Structure 1
Amino acid sequence: MLRSDAQQPTTHDQRLLESLGSSDHDWRHADPWRVMRIQSEFVAGFDALSDLPKAVTVFGSARLGEGTPEYAKAREIGEALVSAGYAVITGGGPGLMEGPNRGAHEAGGLSVGLGIELPFEQGLNDWVDLGLNFRYFFARKTMFLKYSQAFIALPGGFGTLDEVFEVLCMVQTGKVTNFPIVLMGTDFWGGLVEWIRSQQLARGLISEGDDELFLVTDSVSDAIAYIVKTHKIMTDNRLKTPEKGAE
């Protein structure tokens, strides 16, 4: 997708969700065509990622860039995932998305970025080997879920929290296999985990064990070991190595 350096007043997501209130009622004519555009994003994503090997998605803030401890750890995570045999997927932007892409690229692995259209352009970072830009958040989220077998969340803002709880909800409800989820950073995530247990679990808003659908750690090696160990007992076909001569 050709992207402009100029800031955009609105995004495709915004125009889709707010078009009903337009005074000229263009939505009567535009929305049916938007369906085709949405369909094209799914087709392009499925086509580009269909041969992706086993992969781990790393979420994190765009605002913590090179020079921060979080960026250094993100870069270390990308390198460690490649060493463990995984491709690395991120949101493709700067900061804690760039870090894992950079670590994966420098380690000789496959570095994937799934970008999103925002009012002010970010663009894919320079360490992405395979990149896609999406207009619609829901299409992009589907690609994260469909082509990842584990998720690591570094510190981040509302977008990172949205992605974490999306994955937790899909695992909790059985919409996807019980993929390993790692929350990286005990200081950052500890308060949220305590709230989940003291409010949601204690009041019966989630079930016993839902507060254990993730690992909270500061250790990159422990995070990778947890993912590898969990994958050894999972049944997802994408985690199996094809037998010699098999199609």
Structure 2
Amino acid sequence: MALDVVDLRSFYAAPLGRLAHRFLAAVIRHWWPDTTGLAVLGCGFALPYLDLFRQEALRSLAFMPADQGVVHWPPHATQSLTSSALVDPDLLPLPDGSVDRVLLVHLLEVTEIPRDVLDEVWRVLAPSGRLIAVAPNRRGWWASVDTTPFGHGQPFSKGQLHRLLRDSLFSPERFSEILYIPPFERQTTLRMAPLFESFGRRLGLPGAGLLVAEATKQLYRPVMVRKVVRRSLPQLQPALAPLGLRRES
């Protein structure tokens, strides 16, 4: 079940949400340093991160699940000029190969069949397109506490997210794990957040709150080879002839 847009906005307006945005936005911007002339699509609730590209991208779109709710974006746009829309994530209202970058945030974990969403993303991505998928880490604290949006839905392990992308015809290029701090709004915890992040990433510790994966679109579907199983024929036994066909001696 999708999260409510009001709760998502409230989270990112709070200190813990601003901190999560800071660390996740840094990874996204590092991986996509320049989107000039590109079409960027955010699905789920990607508004806080689409702002990174709004001034330079050729086009920025924000698609949100119908059962989540939608807000106008950019913030000061009139209704006729808004770049956000309610959609069915399984049926994106875009032509094939029409976007260059897709950002999935607050979507895969609350989608009943994530593979259907990724199939649609594959369709609308250009041949050289790239995807960033963000999902709660099954081994992290954030997935086990429902006081943040990342504590709802189905979390993933790194292996599960990797297989999901591969099964959906994407080639995973790189992974990152972020949010090593506990998901609690205590001033001491928030002040120590940079230290937690630096220490956790440097040592590659388990328990990060979020998994972030970048993948490229595979242009050709793999050819499935059917395995041929050789079976020996059963040994044939002579059958008795019907009584009417036997010779009388």
Normalising to structure 1: TM-score of the pair?
A: 0.39
> Comparing both structures, which one devotes a greater share of its residues to strand?
2
Bigger radius of gyration: 2
> Comparing both structures, which one devotes a greater share of its residues to helix?
1
Normalising to structure 2: TM-score of the pair?
A: 0.39
